C-alpha cells in the first residue's frame, strides 16, 4: 500500500490540475495521497471529486508557510477542518504576502536586466490563489532567460539573489497551534532541507514535540541525505513522533521528485488518522 503525504497541484506551484494529479497518483500505483498545496485548501474539492470511486484516498492537507527566527519553515497539516475561521484568516494573510511581493520581485529582476512584469507572472500562475517564486521562475523560462526552475532559483530567486524579496510567514509555534486548534496533525516538511536545518536543531525539534504540540517530521525526502535520514529516524523513535516519507511532487518543476519516490508506512498513516479523529479534525473532505 503506497502512501504519499506531500504533493502539490497547480492551485499552488505544482504543474497539474488537481484532477490530473489524482490521475497520475493512480497511474503511479498510490493508494493514498495528501494534497498539500502551499497555504490553500482550494484544490481539495476537485481532487476529492476526481478520486471518488477510484480506490485512491485524498487526505486533507496543507503546507503552511511558517518562520522561525526569520528562517522559512514549511509545516504540513493533515486533517484540518477546512472551515476553521482562525486558520482561514491566517492563510489569507499569508497569501496576501505572496501576492504583494510579486511587483517588487519583477522590479528587481528588471533592474538586473531580466524584463518581466507582474502580468507575465500572473499568466504563468493561471489563476492559482497561492503565488510563489516558482511562478516567477516560469515567467523567466517563458521569456527564455533560464532553462528551468532550478536554474531560476540558483541564479535569481533564492535568498540573496537579485530577484529575492522576503515575504510574510506565521511564527512556527503559532502555526502549529493554529493547525492543531483546527483538528490537524502537524508534521515538519523537509526539516533538514535547505535553510530550515539551521533553526530546526535536534534540541529545538525535541522542544517542539514535547512542549508545543508538534506531531512529527518528514524523514524520507529528496532534500535529506542518508545521514540526515538516519539521525531523524532515531530522533523520531526517541520522541515517539510521527515520521513520514513523501515525494513533494510538483510535476515538471521538480523533476527529481516523482510521485511515490518516498512513502509513508501504513502504520504511520493509521496513527495520523487516529490523531486527527482524536482531535476532532476532518481527514477527508467527504466526511464533512
Q: 10 or 209, CB closer to Zn ion?
A: 10
Q: Which of residues 127-156 bind ligand AMP (CB under 6 A)?
A: 132-134, 149-150, 153
Q: Which residue is nearest to ligand AMP (CB)?
A: 132
The site string for Fe ion over 157-196 (x = CB under 5 A, - otherwise) reads --------------------------------x-------
- Contact by Cβ (8 Å): 193, 285: no
Rounded to a whole number of angstroms, the minimum distance from the CB of residue 156 to Zn ion is 17
Q: Which of 183, 253, 260, 281 binds ligand AMP (CB under 6 A)?
A: 253
Output the CA–CA distances (angstroms, integers) from residue 202 to 61, 124, 177, 219, 231, in the order listed. 25, 39, 20, 13, 9
Please state, in angstroms and rounded to a whole number, the distance separating the CA atoms of residues 7 and 76. 11
Q: Please say whether the dihedral angle defined by the alpha carbons of residues 214, 219, 225 and 227, taken in this order, is positive or negative.
A: positive
The conformation of residue 8, written as its DSSP 8-state character, comes to -
HSE at residue 114, side-chain half, CA atoms within 13 A, is: 25
Please state, in angstroms and rounded to a whole number, the distance separating the CA atoms of residues 238 and 2. 25
Q: Does residue number 15 form part of the binding site for Zn ion (CB under 5 A)?
A: no
Q: Give the residue carrying C-alpha cell 497547480.
A: 10
Which of left, alpha, beta for 77 (phi over 0: left; psi -120 to 50: alpha)? beta
Q: Does residue number 248 form part of the binding site for Fe ion (CB under 5 A)?
A: yes
The conformation of residue 189, written as its DSSP 8-state character, comes to S
- Contact by Cβ (8 Å): 19, 47: yes
Q: Does residue number 13 form part of the binding site for Zn ion (CB under 5 A)?
A: yes
The site string for Fe ion over 56-85 (x = CB under 5 A, - otherwise) reads -------x----------x-----------
Q: Does residue number 180 form part of the binding site for ligand AMP (CB under 6 A)?
A: no
Q: Are strands 2-7 and 30-35 parallel, antiparallel or unpaired?
A: parallel
Q: Does residue number 215 form part of the binding site for Zn ion (CB under 5 A)?
A: no
Choose the one of ligand AMP, Zn ion, Fe ion, none that binds residue 249, judging by a C-beta under 5 to 8 angstroms depending on kind: none
Q: 57 or 246, CB closer to ligand AMP?
A: 246
Residues engaged in binding ligand AMP (CB under 6 A): 13, 38, 132-134, 149-150, 153, 250, 253-254
Residues engaged in binding Zn ion (CB under 5 A): 13
Residues engaged in binding Fe ion (CB under 5 A): 63, 74, 189, 248
Amino acid at each position: 500500500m503506497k502512501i504519499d503525504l506531500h504533493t502539490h497541484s497547480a492551485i499552488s506551484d505544482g504543474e497539474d490540475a488537481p484532477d490530473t494529479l489524482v490521475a497520475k497518483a493512480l497511474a503511479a500505483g498510490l493508494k493514498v495521497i495528501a494534497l498539500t498545496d502551499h497555504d490553500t485548501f482550494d484544490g481539495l474539492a476537485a481532487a476529492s471529486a476526481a478520486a471518488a470511486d477510484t480506490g485512491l484516498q485524498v487526505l486533507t492537507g496543507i503546507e503552511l508557510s511558517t518562520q522561525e527566527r526569520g528562517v522559512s519553515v514549511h509545516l504540513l497539516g493533515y486533517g484540518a477542518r477546512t472551515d476553521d475561521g482562525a486558520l482561514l484568516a491566517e492563510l489569507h494573510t499569508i497569501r496576501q504576502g505572496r501576492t504583494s511581493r510579486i511587483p517588487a520581485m519583477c522590479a528587481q529582476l528588471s533592474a538586473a536586466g531580466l524584463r518581466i512584469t507582474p502580468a507575465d507572472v500572473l499568466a504563468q500562475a493561471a489563476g492559482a490563489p497561492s503565488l510563489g517564486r516558482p511562478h516567477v521562475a516560469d515567467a523567466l523560462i517563458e521569456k527564455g532567460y533560464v532553462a528551468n526552475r532550478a536554474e531560476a532559483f540558483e541564479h535569481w530567486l533564492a535568498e540573496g539573489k537579485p530577484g529575492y524579496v522576503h515575504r510574510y510567514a506565521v511564527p512556527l509555534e503559532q502555526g502549529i497551534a493554529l493547525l492543531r486548534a483546527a483538528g490537524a496533525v502537524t508534521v515538519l516538511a523537509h526539516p533538514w532541507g535547505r535553510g530550515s536545518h539551521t533553526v530546526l536543531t535536534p534540541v529545538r525539534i525535541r522542544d517542539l514535540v514535547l512542549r508545543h504540540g508538534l506531531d512529527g517530521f518528514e524523514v524520507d525526502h529528496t532534500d535529506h541525505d542518508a545521514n540526515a535520514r538516519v539521525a531523524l529516524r532515531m530522533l523520531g523513535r526517541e520522541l515517539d513522533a510521527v515520521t513520514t516519507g513523501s515525494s513533494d511532487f510538483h510535476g515538471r518543476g521538480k523533476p527529481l521528485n516523482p510521485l511515490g519516490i518516498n512513502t509513508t508506512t501504513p502504520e504511520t498513516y493509521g496513527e495520523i488518522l487516529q490523531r486527527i479523529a482524536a482531535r476532532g479534525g476532518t481527514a477527508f473532505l467527504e466526511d464533512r
